[in-house]
C-alpha cells in the first residue's frame, strides 16, 4: 500500500521507501520507518496532499507520497 492511495482520515505506518533520494528528504522531515501517518486532506484540485507526521503537518505531492510504502 502506498501513502498516495490512502483517503483523508486514514492512517498508516511507514514501512519503507522506493526512491532513495526522496527517502532522504522525507526522513529529514520526520517521515521515518515505523512512524505513523494520518492523511488530513487533499488540495482542492486533488494534488498535493497534507499529512500529519511526528506531530506536525506536512504537504507533499502525490508523486512523492507514492514512494512511501506503508505496512
Partner 1 sequence: MNGDLKVALVGNPNTGKSTLFNILTGLNQKIGNFPGITVDKKTGNCRLSDGRNAVIIDLPGTYSLYPKSKDETIVFEVLADKNNDVHPDLVIIVSDASNLKRNLLLYTQVADMKIPVVIALNMMDLARKSGTHIDIDALSTRLGVQVVPISARQGENIEKLKEAIQFSSAIPLQNETIKVESIAPGLISKIQEELLIDHPYAALQLAHQHENLRFLSSQESDRIEEIEQEFSFHSQKAQASETIERYNFINSVLKETVRQETNAVSETVSNKIDKVLTHKVWGFLIFFVLLFVIFQSIFAWSEYPMSLIESLFVWLTESAHNVLPPGVLTDLLTDGVIAGLSGVLVFIPQIAILFAFISVLEDTGYMSRVTFMLDKVMRKVGLSGKSVVPMIGGLACAVPSIMSTRNIENWKDRMITIMVTPLVSCSARLPIYTVLISLVVPDKKVAGLINLQGVALMAMYVISIITAIFVAWVMKYLLRAREKGYFIMELPVYRLPRWDNVLLTMYEKVKTFVVEAGKVIIAISIVLWVLATYGPPGKHAAIEKKYSSAEYINKYSPDELELHRSSELLETSFAGVIGKAIEPAIVPLGYDWKIGIALITSFAAREVFVGTMATIYSVNNDDSHISSVTDKMRQARNPETGLPVFTLASSFSLMIFYAFAMQCMSTLAVVYRETKSWKWPLIQFAYMTALAYIASFIVFNLLK
The contact set with partner 1 (CB under 8 A) reads 20-21, 23-30, 32-33, 40-41, 43-48, 50, 52, 54-61, 64
Pick 17 or 70: Cβ nearer partner 1? 17
At closest approach, how far in Å is the CB of 1 from partner 1?
A: 20
- List of E strands, 1-71: 11-17, 36-42, 49-53, 56-60, 68-70
CA distance 47 to 6: 13
Between 12 and 23, whose beta carbon lies closer to partner 1? 23
Amino acid at each position: 500500500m502506498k501513502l498516495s492511495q490512502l483517503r483523508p482520515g486514514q492512517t498508516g505506518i511507514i514501512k519503507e521507501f522506493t526512491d532513495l533520494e526522496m527517502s532522504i528528504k522525507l526522513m529529514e522531515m520526520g517521515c521515518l520507518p515505523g512512524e505513523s501517518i494520518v492523511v488530513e486532506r487533499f488540495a482542492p484540485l486533488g494534488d498535493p496532499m497534507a499529512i500529519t507526521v511526528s506531530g506536525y503537518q506536512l504537504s507533499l505531492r502525490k508523486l512523492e507520497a507514492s514512494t512511501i510504502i506503508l505496512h
